[in-house]
Amino acid sequence: MIEQHDLLKQTRDYLAAGRFIVPGEHILAAVSGGRDSCVMLHILQFLRNEMGFTLSVAHFDHGLRPASASEQQFVRDMAVSYELDFYGGSADVTALAMGHSIEDAARRARYAFLRQAARQADAHYIATAHHAQDQAETLLLHLLRGSGLEGLAAIAPQEGDLLRPLLSALPRQIEEYCSVHNLQFCQDESNADTRFLRNRIRLDILPQLFKINPRLLYSLSATADICREDNALLDAWAEAAMDELWLPREQAVAEGIFSLPPALQRRILRKAVNHAAGEEIILSFAQTEAALNLKEEQSTSIKGGWLVYRRGALFIDRVQPPLPVHEEIIPVTADDCWHELADWGWAYQAVYGLAVSLPPDSIALPLPMAEKLFFRTRRNGDAVISRGKGGRLKLKDIFIGEKIPPYLRVSWPLLIAKEEIIWLPRLYKRKFDAAGTALIIKIRRLCEPAVMQ
């Protein structure tokens, strides 16, 4: 009779079509003792010889209900009846919550145990009994809370070490299978508690939606499949972009991120935060948008004591360090060699020659000015000679007008002659009559920032 049941054939075909299981692999079935997981275990123990995989059973006691201990014994006895190895675990989930909801704390504790048990069993996959209605509930849950494609993709048939053999199954198919094979299972009274949002969706919202669309589960499953495929494509693009933009030494994303479409920006930022933190940190939409809309030298806090700040690139760190201070005074040496200007990121060359066909990043000075020339960086109140109002123009206004960000301003070289700023490379240059032999000074950036390209 079991050979003829539609759900068995459907599950076999589902696993074979997805090529989820390779002969010789081991599956750890996560069995709560409820109807869905008992049906899944019954089907898997039948298919294991045919499909060539081995099987064991795991159950986690959350300690939230008086009957939970007896339910673990029920699952243990079931594993013994199928001649399968059993792994049991338990925890006081209430004590573990600590700011998380009970549901979230229970899920975290359960999956931590299941992964530990999978390592003990040397299992390739952990099989869970999620089915088509769980898929619909998850999609609606994410939609109600606000979600992008990742949330609407809901539950994947296979995700890392998790396998969902019954994801295409309808609740009525599972009920029928259980009835046909007279399977015993445990009833969890908390499934009727509408204080939990998922239960309200199952008991109150879905029945109303079924009146509008009797094929709702098929429709929402198709929606999840489409979103999952679109999400996978976007994620692959984001991963490729991340390879180009991630600056591992600085723990930052290069500012090229801001030239990409918003959908990729959000994904890259989330990946960057996880890279820097070394753990999964889930950013809300508001946190993501706040980080991507930072102006220069602004920062925003994210979870886990981390922050994102913008200094050309987007940096992820515990603190935002101050901008460097450059107090060096560097005399000009005319020896035809290139000299680095301290650690400012610039270098100069000074030679004597005829001021003809000079490149843009250069200045020619008459010989009497060749003495006591030096470079320094900006100071408060710096200004240059201007034909405008008052005859002076503040460097700050020049930088702002040319959209030079603060992190570049602090190391921008100024050429000084007789305490007067005569050259602000690329931005301002005093004109001198340098006929005949002159002192020619050229300058270049050692590493051109993207903002200047």
**Per residue in 130-170, pLDDT tens?**
999 999 999 999 999 888 898 899 999 999 999 999 999 99
The per-residue pLDDT for 107 is 85
The per-residue pLDDT for 449 is 64
The per-residue pLDDT for 96 is 63
Label residue 104 by pLDDT band (50, 70, 90): confident
User: What distance in Å separates the CA atoms of residue 430 and residue 49, rounded to the nearest whole number?
Assistant: 87
Average pLDDT over residues 230-249: 96
**What tokens does 434 get?**
């340098």
Give the Cβ contact number of residue 282 at 10 Å. 10
**Would you say residue 174 has pLDDT above 90?**
yes
State the pTM of this model: 0.77
**Would you say residue 193 has pLDDT above 90?**
no
Q: What are the phi and psi torsion angles at 165 (to 5°)? A: -65, -25
User: What distance in Å separates the CA atoms of residue 324 and residue 91, rounded to the nearest whole number?
Assistant: 50
Q: Which helix (H) or strand (E) holds 38?
A: helix 35-51
The per-residue pLDDT for 95 is 63
User: What distance in Å separates the CA atoms of residue 451 and residue 447, rounded to the nearest whole number?
Assistant: 12
Q: What percent of the chain has pLDDT over 90?
A: 77
Domains of the chain, CATH where assigned: 2-225 (3.40.50.620), 248-317 (3.30.465), 330-452 (no CATH)
**Would you say residue 100 has pLDDT above 80?**
no
**Would you say residue 324 has pLDDT above 60?**
yes
The per-residue pLDDT for 325 is 93
The per-residue pLDDT for 448 is 67
Spell out the residues 6+ positions from residue 305 whose beta carbon is closer than 8 angstroms to its own: 318
Average pLDDT over residues 84-104: 78
The per-residue pLDDT for 389 is 64
The per-residue pLDDT for 228 is 95
In 332-452, alpha helices (H) = 395-401, 406-409
The per-residue pLDDT for 97 is 62
The per-residue pLDDT for 433 is 87
To the nearest whole number, what is the mean pLDDT of the chain?
A: 91
User: What distance in Å separates the CA atoms of residue 223 and residue 252, rounded to the nearest whole number?
Assistant: 35
**Would you say residue 4 has pLDDT above 60?**
no
Residue with the bigger pLDDT between 68 and 167: it is 167
**Would you say residue 186 has pLDDT above 80?**
yes
The per-residue pLDDT for 98 is 66
Residue with the bigger pLDDT between 190 and 360: it is 360
User: What distance in Å separates the CA atoms of residue 431 and residue 309, rounded to the nearest whole number?
Assistant: 40
CA 410 vs CA 358, 398, 414: distances in Å: 27, 14, 11
- For residue 296, give the nearest of 404, 448, 447, 426 by alpha carbon: 404
The per-residue pLDDT for 2 is 39
> Range with the lowest mean pLDDT among 68-72, 115-119, 153-157, 394-398?
68-72
- Helix 262-277 vs helix 285-292: crossing angle, to nearest 10: 100
The per-residue pLDDT for 5 is 64
Are the C-beta atoms of 338 and 435 separated by less than 8 Å?
Answer: no
Taken in order 271, 277, 282, 287, the sign of the CA dihedral is negative
**Would you say residue 46 has pLDDT above 70?**
yes
**Would you say residue 432 has pLDDT above 60?**
yes
Average pLDDT over residues 243-248: 96
Q: Which amino acid type is present at position 226?
A: I
Average pLDDT over residues 116-141: 96
Strands 346-354 and 246-247: unpaired
